[in-house]
């Protein structure tokens, strides 16, 4: 029901997923009067889906607390998440209200053992390929133990979607030396270096421009600066696309050049389309929830479903559980309290 376009975009998007991943099956939750007319026109999808009518749907502008109060147990968003909790579904995908989706996901699926706060991970295109950046806004602030938790979650996600044995992990920091503050980032770096986790190749601090360079596979930061980095990059991409449009229409020669190179420009435009940077993944809960961009078109929504499918297929949740257990066997204190005792290995 969510997103700017609702079932009209979400349902046709699923056809593309069926082509690429023929063993996929769907549970659809929404209002019958909106879903059924679209579903009737897509018999192939209808044959692979089970539709559940829900009276309530969360609006894009509902506050999280309001959505939780009005939509718990019965809204389409809640019931999609609940299907993951009950084991009826392997992954929940929604283009709906991010705050409401996170609030309901936390309430229904609950954080994993040893994880105090879930994170939102973004898949970020880089000059080398893609990287996972987290947290991009689930929480404001993170102590060293929480940053270490994000590193474990992000490395597990990179493992499952990039199929890397030991993804390279960096902590986002500023490059100025001898500067005070951000003790939590320094402490998290010390903890990750000392832990020498087999599941990741911890590479130390990275700076803002390292994200686009693809210096590492996983960039770890707390949600405030992560959200600002993500939105700033989106804004810069739109700004440059606008400059390009302007430059290519200004003179006759430029317009002729544009005519010849139009396929190249189309490919470039697709690369610059921030709606394609899809797949905010909620990590650290007992189940996988993928938040598709609200403005996603069919292709964008299908990409989010593909992402969710791949993470479920490669058993992301099991990987995370194993790696958290592994870390805590060696450091038998909750991640989030490690700061207090200086992160010493008490085993």
> Nearer to its own copies by C-beta: 38 or 339?
339
Using only C-alpha atoms, the chain has a radius of gyration, in whole angstroms, of 21
Between 117 and 315, CB nearer to its own copies: 117
Q: Which residue of 20, 21, 25, 213 would you call a contact of its own copies, by CB under 8 A?
A: 213
Burial of 258 (0-12, 13-18, 19+ CB in 10 A): middle
Provide, rounded to whole angstroms, the least separation between the CB of residue 313 and its own copies. Answer: 30
Options 9-17, 29-37, 139-147, 329-337: segment touching its own copies (CB under 8 A): 139-147
Residue 55 tokens read as: 């009276």
Nearest to 154 by CA among 101, 215, 224, 216: 216
Binding mask 14-43 for its own copies (x = CB under 8 A): ------------------------------
The smaller minimum CB distance to its own copies, of residues 28 and 100, is found at 100
Distance of CA 99 to the CA centre of its chain: 14
Q: Verify binding: residue 193, its own copies, rule CB under 8 A.
A: no
**227 near its own copies, judged by CB under 8 A:** yes
Q: Which residues contact 76 (CB under 8 A, 6 or more apart)?
A: 1, 29, 30, 31, 54, 56, 57, 58
- Segment contacting its own copies (CB under 8 A): 47-55, 63-71, 152-160, 279-287? 63-71
Question: Among residues 214 and 334, whose Cβ is nearest to its own copies?
Answer: 214
Distance CA 117, CA 133 (A): 16
Task: Round to whole Å and give the CA distance between 315 and 307.
Answer: 12
Q: Which of residues 231-270 bind its own copies (CB under 8 A)?
A: 231-240, 242-244, 247-248, 250-251, 253-254, 256-265, 267-268
Q: With binding defined as CB under 8 A, does residue 129 bind its own copies?
A: no
Binding its own copies (rule: CB under 8 A), the pick from 139, 199, 278, 286 is 139
| Alpha carbon distance 88, 29 (integer Å) | 13
**Interaction between residue 48 and its own copies (CB under 8 A):** no
Contact 111, 118 (CB under 8 A): yes
Task: Find the DSSP H helices in 92-182.
Answer: 98-109, 144-162
The candidate with the shortest Cα–Cα distance to 14, out of 36, 22, 295, is 22
Q: Give, rounded to a whole angstrom, the gap between the first and last alpha carbons of the chain.
A: 49
Report, in this order, helix, strand and coil percent for the chain, each rounded to 5.
Answer: 50, 15, 35
Question: Are 63 and 24 contacting, i.e. CB atoms less than 8 angstroms apart?
Answer: no
Is 225 a residue that touches its own copies (CB under 8 A)?
yes
Q: Interface with its own copies includes 12 (CB under 8 A)?
A: no
Among 212, 295, 299, 313, binds its own copies (CB under 8 A): 212
Among 126, 194, 298, 333, binds its own copies (CB under 8 A): 126
Task: Verify binding: residue 182, its own copies, rule CB under 8 A.
Answer: yes
Enumerate the β-bridge partners of residue 83. none
* Residues near its own copies (CB under 8 A): 63-65, 98-99, 125-127, 137, 139-141, 172, 174-182, 207-213, 221, 223-225, 227-240, 242-244, 247-248, 250-251, 253-254, 256-265, 267-268, 271-272
């Amino acid at each position: 029901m969510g997103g700017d376009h609702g079932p009209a975009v979400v349902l046709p998007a699923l056809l593309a997923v069926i082509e690429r991943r023929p063993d996929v099956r769907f549970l659809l939750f929404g209002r019958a009067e909106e879903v059924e007319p679209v579903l009737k026109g897509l018999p192939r999808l209808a044959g692979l889906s089970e539709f559940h009518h829900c009276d309530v749907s969360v609006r894009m502008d509902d506050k999280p607390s309001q959505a939780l109060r009005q939509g718990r147990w019965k809204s389409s968003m809640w019931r999609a998440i609940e299907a993951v909790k009950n084991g009826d579904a392997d992954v929940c995908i929604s283009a709906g209200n991010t705050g409401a989706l996170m609030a309901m996901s936390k309430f229904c699926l609950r954080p994993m053992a040893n994880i105090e706060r879930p994170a939102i991970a973004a898949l970020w295109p880089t000059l080398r390929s893609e990287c996972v950046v987290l947290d991009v806004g689930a929480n404001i602030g993170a102590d060293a133990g929480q940053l270490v938790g994000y590193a474990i979650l992000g490395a597990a996600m990179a493992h499952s979607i990039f199929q890397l044995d030991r993804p390279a992990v960096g902590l986002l920091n500023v490059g100025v030396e001898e500067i005070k503050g951000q003790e939590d980032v320094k402490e998290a770096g010390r903890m990750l270096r000392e832990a020498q986790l087999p599941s990741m190749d911890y590479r130390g601090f990275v700076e803002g421009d390292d994200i686009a360079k693809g210096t590492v596979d996983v960039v770890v930061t707390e949600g405030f600066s992560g959200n600002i980095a993500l939105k700033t990059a989106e804004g810069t991409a739109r700004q440059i696309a606008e400059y390009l449009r302007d430059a290519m229409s200004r003179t006759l020669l430029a317009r002729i050049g544009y005519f010849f190179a139009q396929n190249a420009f189309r490919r470039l435009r697709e690369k610059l389309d921030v709606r394609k940077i899809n797949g905010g993944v909620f990590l650290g809960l007992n189940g996988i929830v993928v938040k598709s961009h609200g403005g996603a078109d069919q292709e964008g929504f299908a990409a989010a479903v593909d992402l969710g499918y791949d993470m479920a297929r490669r058993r992301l949740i099991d990987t995370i559980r194993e790696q958290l257990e592994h870390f805590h066997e060696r450091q038998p204190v909750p991640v989030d309290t490690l700061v207090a005792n200086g992160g010493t290995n008490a085993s």
